[in-house]
């Protein structure tokens, strides 16, 4: 498996097929005299920001903190919880086991109140 090609930036869905985002970052565990292994995938705009520029990642973290959306974010998902990797990555978890949809939930509280919200 090519981590950069097959994992990074790939769509992630939970075990019920709900969209969880994309792999915005990865955690690699490297021990002496052993090949490195993929320990976790990371989902969240702060992790994406980190990849583009550390200052951008920091800015997103501050923004999330200001709106109280920084709990367990960016979401780090153990590689053991990955079920399969194909054109998308399917997890053994459900979306509610993580904090990836904190922004969606916050916005839903507003959007859901508007007349005509289906």
Partner 1 sequence: MRKLFNLTLGVVTSIGGFVEVGSISTSAQAGAEFGFSLLWAVAVATLFLAALAEMAGRLAAVSKRSMAAAVRERFGIHFQIIPLSAELVIDTLLLTAELGGVAIAIKMLTGIGFQWWILPVGLVAWLVLWLGNFSVIEDGIGLLGMVTLSFVVAAWRLHPTAGQVVGGFVPTVPHHDITRYAFMTVSIIGATVSPYLLNFYSSGAIEEKWTEQDLWINRLTAWFGMGFGSTVAMGCLVTAAIVLGPQHVKVETYEQAAQMFVPVYGRWAVTLFALSLGIGCFGAAVEIALNAGYVLGQSLGWTWGIDKKRRDTSRFVAAFSLVLLLAVAIASIGFDPLRVTLISVALTVVIMPLVVLPFLVLMNDEQYVGRHTSGPIGNGLLATITILGALMAMVVIPLEILGG
Q: How far apart are CA 57 and CA 55, in angstroms?
A: 5
Shortest distance (Å) from residue 74 CB to partner 1: 12
Is residue 118 a contact residue for partner 1 (CB under 8 A)?
yes
Q: Please compute, for residue 112, the number of CA atoms within 13 A of its CA located in the half-sphere on the CB side.
A: 6
Q: Which of 4, 30, 31, 68 binds partner 1 (CB under 8 A)?
A: 4
Q: How far apart are CA 118 and CA 114, in angstroms?
A: 9
Q: Which of 14, 41, 42, 45 binds partner 1 (CB under 8 A)?
A: 45
Q: Which spans in the chain are helix H? A: 45-52, 54-66, 102-111
CB atoms within 10 A of CB 18: 14
Residues 53-112 that bind partner 1 (CB under 8 A): 87, 103-104, 107-108, 110-112
- Binding interface with partner 1 (CB under 8 A): 4, 8-12, 18-22, 24, 43, 45, 48, 51-52, 87, 103-104, 107-108, 110-112, 114, 116-118
């Amino acid at each position: 498996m090519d981590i950069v090609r097959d994992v990074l930036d790939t769509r992630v869905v939970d075990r019920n097929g709900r969209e969880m985002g994309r792999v915005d970052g990865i955690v690699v565990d490297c021990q002496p005299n052993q090949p490195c292994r993929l320990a976790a995938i990371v989902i969240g705009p702060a992790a994406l920001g980190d990849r583009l520029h550390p200052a951008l990642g920091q800015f997103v973290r501050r923004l999330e903190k200001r709106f109280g959306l920084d709990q367990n974010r960016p979401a780090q998902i153990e590689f053991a919880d990955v079920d399969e990797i194909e054109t998308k990555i399917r997890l053994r978890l459900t979306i509610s086991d993580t904090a990836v949809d904190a922004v969606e939930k916050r916005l839903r509280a507003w959007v859901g109140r508007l007349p005509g919200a289906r």
